[in-house]
Amino acid sequence: MQTGQSLKYLLEARELIIGYPQRTISGPLNLHISQGDGLGIIGANGSGKSTLLRTILGHLMPVAGEVRFLGLPVNEDSLSFRQLVAVQVTDGTFFEELTVAEHLELVARGHKLGSWKSLVAEELEFFELHLVADLLPHELSSGQRRKLLLAASLIRPAQLLILDEPEQRLDLRIKAKLYDRLATLRKSGTTVLAVTHDPQLLRHSLGQALLLNEDHGELIEAAVGAQWLER
Amino acid sequence: MNDNDVSVQESEFDPQQLILRAKRRRNFSERFESFSDAYVWVLAAIVALAYLFSAIFGLIFALLGQGVAHQKMPAAVWSLQELSPILLALGAIYLLRLFLHLGPVGINAAKADWWLPLPLGLAVLRSGALRNALIVGMLSSTFVGVLWLIVLYGLAGAFHPLVAGCAVVCFVLAGVFIASVGVVVQSYGLQRLVQHWIDGCLVAIGALLMIFWGLLAMGKQWAKSVVENVGSSVLHLPTWICAATVLLVLSVIFTWWAAQRNLKITSRSLRSSGEKQQRVLGVLMQADSRSIGAPSATVLGYRRRRGRRIAANLTIAWRILVLRLIRGGYWQSIAGYLLLVLGLTATVEQIANPLSMLVFYLMVGVLLPLNLSGVIAPMLTQRQLTQHLGQPSAKLERTAALFAVIYSVATLSLLTGGLGLLGVVDLSNFWWWCAAVFAGSLGAAAASLGHAQRNERDWESLLGSATSDTSVAIVLYGELSTLVRAVAPLAPLFSMILSPDADIPWPLWVISLLFTLPALRLIVGRKF
């Protein structure tokens, strides 16, 4: 397996056209993302932000072009891809019989983290879920379920962290803590890719923005992207 | 990046153990609730099968016109029993097509979100999904096969129990074989191509039927003996023993192949198949069978673009209804039913009899309101539409009622006209027929309005939320009342079919009109 250190880019999209066989949504897009970069994906509703994420993750086939992770085509079946890429989807589903803590245990033990008990406790503390650690998903509020999804994506080590509107349904305090943490993660070498509508996230935690506009994408500075979102 | 999970050693940590541990932790009441849910569904399935058994027998009794004189149709060249093997072949082909649409190997959304992305060997996850696919294949094939056996029993009058036993074994093996073929096709990502072939195969079966029908109509004796031999072969034990042997060999080979290929199915395919399975289960629970036919993406894309010109000059409410009818594919089940009725009546011996006609009208009386209610439901239940469209709810309801009446008149007129052209119903009392069709249409419209107004159409939640026998009875009463409302206004039509020369007794008109009042009230726009 090749490592990220030996390659110029962690993630690349070449002449990527996203969409479905009957309908192209956006493209061609060209992206070059290095280790420790932060990219916010912004755009109007229906511009293809989530579709782009799903294509990068390999959940959807590109209409044309390709996405490469560590120099090789994205392959969700690859063990290393699953080890190195962490994902938080918009509206995740849950095992109805597992508690909040057990969901985090599943991820931590699945990634063979030795000190999983303390890591689970830390995440519960960080997202202020410790009081509901033993509750089942259907007993949580939508905001708490959201926090559980974020905790699951952050409890495990990753070279690439992909987030779909992480700001949704979070209170201001948790949002601020999360944005700080994302900035710290970037400094330690984790690449962050996030679909967002929050200018604060762009300014604070991400360096660049990809503005998806009708049928093309435009790379801009995070501050410019934040201004676009504020308009 | 090329270290696929297939080659990975199974990790010590098994997510399944964590899930099982959580399940075992449930208290007695939760376990009992889970057990009672399963128990209710098994019980409901047994009761439904018993009713289905009676309904099929009733249907066959009517189609064969037991004790009633039938008309000799010039184009009726074969019997129902001679056609029954075709029915079985079609059942198997449709099952394979459905399985290809469903995956058949898929995982649910929770597993796709939480388990699939873990860097573990996924053999446990995959083998569980394969096992589920094989079990579903076995059960669904057996279900279809047993229904077919009931039909055969009704047609043949009797057959040896050994034949039935051997046939059931064949259905079980066929289910395993079909599911395994589906898994192999899925692993190569060839579902669309094979579905395309299956569509071609269905066209070929149709063409073959037409050719044989032509040969029989021309009096070719060899064709007659082929059809008779095929029709009677299903009653002989050696046929089933031979089929069971072939299916056993095929299912062993394909199950082994499927187990090998299962490891090659991509995560993307597992995830998308799981989504499709959830969707199909959802529509089944809403008693909406439209997506079971698994129309291809091309067909759906084409359907979504249709109807724009037809609806262009209509008012917004009418446009919504017409586009729902066309793009939702609602019209297809009614059109298919009408074609089937006319085709069977014209080409199959004994079906041209008054009892069959009665059953055909009865069935359209049930099918039509169910079909229509799906089209008009948003007009009656989604209150926000009044704001979006800027129209009062009474006006939307009236539009929905008028649409329901027009659609019903068209359907019943086509059925009556078609049967009249075939000469099976005597249309000499033309105006009485018109009046009876109109009354029946008003009744179908009234029933569809009633059915659509009950917002909740999900059978799982309807029966699941019924906490006592009384609430189950209320749910069933609601459905029964729809059925009565749909069928009672057809009384004058029934009278004209059974006694074409006699006048329609006035109490039948009274009953019919009583049940049409809800539709009339909505159309006129006031209570009376």
Cα distance from N-terminal residue to C-terminal residue, chain A: 45
Instruction: Please report the pLDDT score of residue B58 as a whole number.
Output: 86
Residue B153 has pLDDT above 60, yes or no: yes
Q: Does B305 touch chain A (CB under 8 A)?
A: no
**Contact call for residues B47 and B158 (beta carbons, < 8 A):** no
The partner residues of A11 in beta bridges, in order of sequence, read A33, A69
Give the CATH number for residue A133. 3.40.50.300
Task: Identify which of A72, A97, A103 has the shortest CB distance to residue B1.
Answer: A72
The sheet with strand A72-73 has its strands ordered as: A23-33, A11-20, A64-69, A72-73
DSSP assignments along B250-286, one per residue? HHHHHHHHHHHHHTTS-HHHHHHHHHHHHHHHHHHHT
Given a cut of 60, is residue B216 above it in pLDDT? yes
Radius of gyration of chain A (CA): 17
Tell me if B13 and A112 make a contact (CB, 8 A cut-off).
yes
Q: CA of A114: how far to CAs of A15, A74, B13, B131, in Å?
A: 41, 28, 12, 33
Q: Is residue B285 classed exposed, middle or buried when 0-12, 13-18 and 19+ CB atoms within 10 A define those classes?
A: middle
Q: Which residues pair with B87 in a beta bridge?
A: none
> Do B268 and A72 make contact, defined as CB atoms within 8 angstroms?
no
Chain B residues whose beta carbon lies within 8 Å of the beta carbon of residue A95: 19, 22, 110, 114
What separation, in Å, do the N-terminal and C-terminal C-alpha atoms of chain B show? 75
Enumerate the residues of chain A whose CB falls inside 8 A of the CB of residue B268. Answer: 58-61, 76
Judged on CB neighbours under 10 Å (0-12, 13-18, 19+), B440 is buried
Beta strands A160-164 and A85-88, pairing class: parallel
CB B105 within 8 A of CB B126: yes
pLDDT level of residue A198 (50, 70, 90 thresholds): very high
- The answer to whether the beta carbons of residues B176 and B255 sit under 8 Å apart is yes
B124 CB neighbours in chain A (<8 A) are none
**Per-residue pLDDT reduced to its tens digit, A2-29:** 344 446 789 999 999 998 877 888 878 9
The number of beta carbons lying within 10 Å of the beta carbon of residue A32 is 14
pLDDT at B258 > cutoff 50: yes
pLDDT digits 0-9 by tens, B28-39? 677 777 777 777
Domain range enclosing A29: 4-230
Name the pLDDT band for B383 (thresholds 50, 70, 90): confident
Residue corresponding to tokens 């299912």:
B251
Q: Which residue of B has its CA nearest to A152?
A: B114
Contacting residues of A for B271, CB less than 8 Å apart: 59
**Orientation angle between helical segments B297-305 and B316-327, nearest 10 degrees:** 160
More confident residue, B60 or B26: B60
B125-151 pLDDT, tens digit per residue, is: 999 999 999 999 999 999 999 989 988
Say how many C-beta atoms besides its own lie within 10 A of residue B503's C-beta: 10
Q: d(Cα B253, Cα B181) in Å, to the nearest integer?
A: 10
A62-97 residue pLDDT tens: 999 999 999 899 988 899 999 999 998 767 789 988
pLDDT digits over B187-202, tens only? 999 998 999 999 999 9
Interface check B268 vs A, CB under 8 A: yes
Least confident of A119-123, A217-221, B523-527: B523-527
What pLDDT score was predicted for residue B525?
66
Half-sphere exposure of A51 (CA within 13 A, CB side): 23
Does residue A101 or residue B509 have the better pLDDT?
A101
Nearest-neighbour CA in chain A from B410: distance (Å): 34
Structural domain count of chain A: 1
Let me know the angle formed at the C-alpha of B353 by B350 and B355, rounded to the nearest 5 degrees.
Answer: 115
ipTM comes to: 0.92
Assess whether the previous peptide bond of A28 is cis (omega < 30° from 0): yes
Report chain A's mean pLDDT, rounded to a whole number: 89
Alpha helices in B423-490 (DSSP H): 430-453, 459-464, 469-487
Q: Go through chain B and tell me how many residues it has.
A: 528
Q: Is the CB of B1 inside 8 Å of chain A's CB atoms?
A: yes
pLDDT of residue A132: 94
Determine the pLDDT at residue B528: 40
CA distance A103 to A101: 5
Count of A-B CB contacts under 8 Å: 101
- Is the per-residue pLDDT at A110 higher than 90? yes
pLDDT at B459: 60
> Is B13 in CB contact (< 8 Å) with chain A?
yes
- Is B114 in Cβ contact with A152 (below 8 Å)? yes
Query: Which residue does chain B place closest to A90, by CA atoms?
Result: B113
SS3 B370: helix
Which of A77, A81, A103 lies nearest to residue B114, judging by beta carbons? A103
CA dist B290 → A137, B272, B424 (Å): 33, 19, 31
Residue B262 to residues A81, A117, B125, B127, B188: CA-CA distances in angstroms? Answer: 20, 34, 11, 8, 10
